Chains A and B, each alone.
Chain A
């Protein structure tokens, strides 16, 4: 069955990629449409996520190497990156702090429990860091992972359109924002927009996770 799950997932991805090229819209973002379709198919055919997990493990084997490979666009755009290091660092640190603070405040305003607030605080950074950081501040790592995925899909789907609505045209700043708030999933979308966006987004994703893991244990108790 595992082979079948892999074939179906690859086919769904291929189809959703074509759909995104044919009908470009935030709602045809491949991560979003593919994930929705796969969840739908698993639910309809009564397959649990546990049964799908062996297939998931095989398919995600290359995720680590793929993230390492983001060094290539980073290297190719190194002159732009170095030139704008200072404004980028200011934007990234301020953005990371504001997304952490606003998520905790919003969660408490909605009356959500402290465990959920802690999971919300880590949502902007890549899953492994988010899970570790969540445990340190008293959150649930599995719930943190769910927040991370949702934030990533949100950023991939709405990030580019929101930036356009706010008249941010500069590819460098677009990539920086998407990588800072929606990690790898956002980066995968930013890379489709252009090489500068992809390179800056991958660098931002890395540095946002570093800033978050350093700052959060100090910051969270004050929120």
Chain B
């Protein structure tokens, strides 16, 4: 009996955490549309939650297991969206190779510049210290 109760309690807490994260997100959607901020609502929500956690105004346990679950399965949410690529069949057929070339080339350049610079600067500052 005790075990069942414990599990039910955990499930309830988990659902409350998902609900709380949803409220934070929907609040950010309203804030962004009201203030016309040129940043996506989800990023604004992330910054707000980070701020609340840093200030200690929202204790970590109130979102912990729900947030960890969503983080772990973040990739899932992109699958139905990515399947939308199937509607670009004609563009892909006519320009596919060039499009892949553009995306691959510029992604590799951006990746190397970002990570390379960050790693090089980190080594430099460590040498100074």
Contact = CB atoms under 8 A, between A and B. Distances in A.
B105 to A, nearest CB: 5
A4 interface: no
* Chain A binding surface SS class: helix
B57 interface: no
A26 B101 CA distance: 18
A50 B39 CA distance: 28
A188 B75 contact: yes
B98 interface: yes
A196 to B, nearest CB: 13
Interface string A73-88: 1110010000010111
Contacts of A185: 75, 78, 82
Interface of A: 9-10, 12-13, 30-31, 34-35, 38-39, 42-43, 49, 52, 55-56, 59-60, 62-75, 78, 84, 86-88, 90-92, 94-96, 98-100, 102-103, 106-107, 110-112, 116, 120, 123-124, 126-129, 132, 143, 145-147, 149-156, 158-159, 162-163, 166, 168, 170, 172-174, 176-178, 180-182, 184-185, 187-189, 191-192, 198, 202, 204-206, 209-210, 213-214
A176 B114 contact: yes
Interface string B27-57: 0110000000011111101111110011000
B121 interface: yes
Contacts of B73: 66
B93 interface: no
Contacts of A176: 114-115, 118
Interface of B: 18, 21-22, 24-26, 28-29, 38-43, 45-50, 53-54, 60, 63-64, 66-68, 70-88, 91, 95, 98-119, 121-122, 125
Contacts of A178: 111
9 contacts: A38-B83, A65-B22, A75-B53, A91-B118, A102-B106, A102-B110, A103-B106, A149-B84, A205-B43
A198 B77 CA distance: 16
A39 B83 contact: yes
Contacts of B113: 91, 94-95, 98-99
* Chain B binding surface SS class: helix
Contact of B82 (A126, A153, A155, A202): A153
B31 to A, nearest CB: 12
B106 A120 contact: yes
Given A60-B81, A96-B110, A166-B116, A110 B43 contact: no
A71 B26 CA distance: 16
